[in-house]
Amino acid sequence: MGIYFINTAYNTLVKSNNIEDYNDRYIKIFYCNGNYCKPWEKPEVVTYFSNTFNKIFKYDPYYDKISFAYEYDLKCTYNSNNYCVIDEKDEEKIKEIDDREFCVTNDGELVLILLSKDETKESLSLHQHQNQRQYRHFNDTKIIRATSNENSYISSSKETTTKNNRTYIKNEDNFLVECMKAKNDDEPIYGLAKHFYKLDLKSAKIISNSGHYIVNSSTNKAINNKDFKK
């Protein structure tokens, strides 16, 4: 299940660290959902997606080019309580989370790294006015206390650090961040990071149209009539 890059000149699956290999004129891209495969339709907006080798790509329709989203991809483990364990021990790489909007699971699922709840309103205002978030210095932090939750990774009284508008929780030897991902491709969700996104299981499209979007805060899905009380 996922996106496959096929070089039709050799009928081989592309796995390369050279981005030109993915933009070759003989490349055909297919999306497979577990039941069938179909040609990948190029989106009309900037889109991030992961392939079958868990690499995160960015497609920009203005240039009609595919690029690597990041020099290296952060791996993470998603928890149903909307927290992710960052599977990375290199502290220098962990610091670069501040510049990342996405991490990827071992199953190749694309996960959106969220802002701290206290900063979401500020970020939304910045998104509306300039479509770009301002970052504070990484060392500009404040410490708060996290309460325990049943079935959560977070233990009671763990120290939580807010850095550059994101909440980091040091839990034993791991870092946790607030995050979200879709459950499947049939039920897209919406999330706000540096940009506002519509997320499928393995892709995320930037919402570029002007207007109001009403999202259920419990499910992160677009609101429908049954969500309104009569």
Say how many residues make up the chain.
230
**Burial class of 80 by CB neighbour count within 10 A (0 to 12, 13 to 18, 19+):** exposed
Contact 84, 113 (CB under 8 A): yes
**Rounded to two decimals, what is the model's pTM?**
0.73
Average pLDDT of span 67-92 = 84
Q: What is the pLDDT of residues 188-215, one digit of tens each?
A: 888 888 888 999 999 999 986 655 555 5
> What's the whole-number average pLDDT of the chain?
74
**Quick one: three-class SS letters along the chain?**
CEEEEEECCCCEECCCCCHHHHCCCCEEEEEECCCCEEECCCCCCCEEEEECCCCEEEEECCCCEEEECCCCCCEEEEECCCEEEECCCCHHHHHHHHHCCEEECCCCCEEEECCCHHHHHHHHHHHHHCCCCCCCCCCCEEEEEECCCCCCCCCCCEEEEEECCEEEEEECCEEEEEEECCCCCCCCEEEECCCEEEECCCEEEECCCCCCCCECCCCCCECCHHHCCC
Name the least confident of 130-134, 144-148, 185-189: 144-148
160/3: higher pLDDT: 3
